[in-house]
Homo-oligomer: A and B are copies of this chain.
């Protein structure tokens, strides 16, 4: 495994990390969850990503149980939560968003579910237009001073919103956000590569990225279309399909097809290739992997090896094909 500093901070995350999104919310049995976390840990993964909204808290409870069961040393791994969407189906107004109340309540709830004394990373899962940034920054700072959170950050905030948070933190001598969690993959590059560009140096911002496989699109499994029972095919995941594929839909699917063809040419699986491509960006601290089977996880973990195995010419081809 490779380890990278989270931006300019002193926290070193494994370049590949394990996320509970999608899979831990109820889909997989406890034994499989245990095997997945154990396999990740054994391969050097030290960051386990979660959020209050994944399975309405079920993902955090499952992960907390499994980590406790495996007796991982608390100082050796990092665990995260994210606050914004709430952990119930129809949240009341104070059960979601980034008010001091929800940020605080959600932290306490996540600590209980994950069975830890502190969250290593705590993200604002989205910007909240109905809460002043100042209130959220103060609330995050308080949690850090109380020892309940080590590093706080954002997810899918605009560069302008992130700047605003830093301004507030500097003015009041508060802890500024350390990291962002954006979507990033071969088909979705603008925010990470353009919008955030000045923030890396200016604030030492680190990023932990989600959806390195574009929700499976880059594995080639949708090359022939979206079967109804697949993630991107399901009725209720229309929002996700739209977000991943974007407009015009056909264009992205076409690029994904070219990419998987190139992977075949290199004689590597497309998934680890897509993941390795993300790791080539030095601003990426960690790529979050989701997996519902151990073999799938192990395949994705091979991305680390690809980084060295493929030469610049190969990477150039990847860039061209996916553009």
On A, residues with C-beta under 8 Å from B are: 3, 5, 8-14, 46, 73-78, 88, 92-95, 97-102, 104-106, 109, 118, 120, 128, 130-132, 135-136, 138, 142, 144-147, 150-151, 172-173, 175, 204
Contact = CB atoms under 8 A, between A and B. Distances in A.
A130 B5 contact: yes
Contacts of A151: 100
A146 B227 CA distance: 52
Nearest to A93: B12
Contact of A92 (B46, B88, B94): B46
A105 B147 contact: no
A60 to B, nearest CB: 15
8 contacts: A9-B132, A9-B135, A10-B132, A12-B93, A12-B97, A73-B88, A74-B105, A77-B94
B145 A100 contact: no
A276 to B, nearest CB: 20
A237 to B, nearest CB: 28
Give the 10 A-B residue pairs with the shortest CB-CB distance, closest first.
Answer: A10-B131, A10-B99, A12-B93, A75-B105, A3-B93, A76-B92, A172-B173, A11-B99, A75-B95, A10-B135
Contact of A101 (B78, B131, B145): B78
Contact of A8 (B3, B132, B146): B132
B46 A138 contact: no
A171 B82 CA distance: 31
Contacts of A14: 93
Contacts of A142: 144-145, 147
Nearest to A88: B73
A273 to B, nearest CB: 26
Given A46-B94, A93-B3, A138-B175, A109 B9 contact: no
Contact of A173 (B3, B46, B120, B173): B173
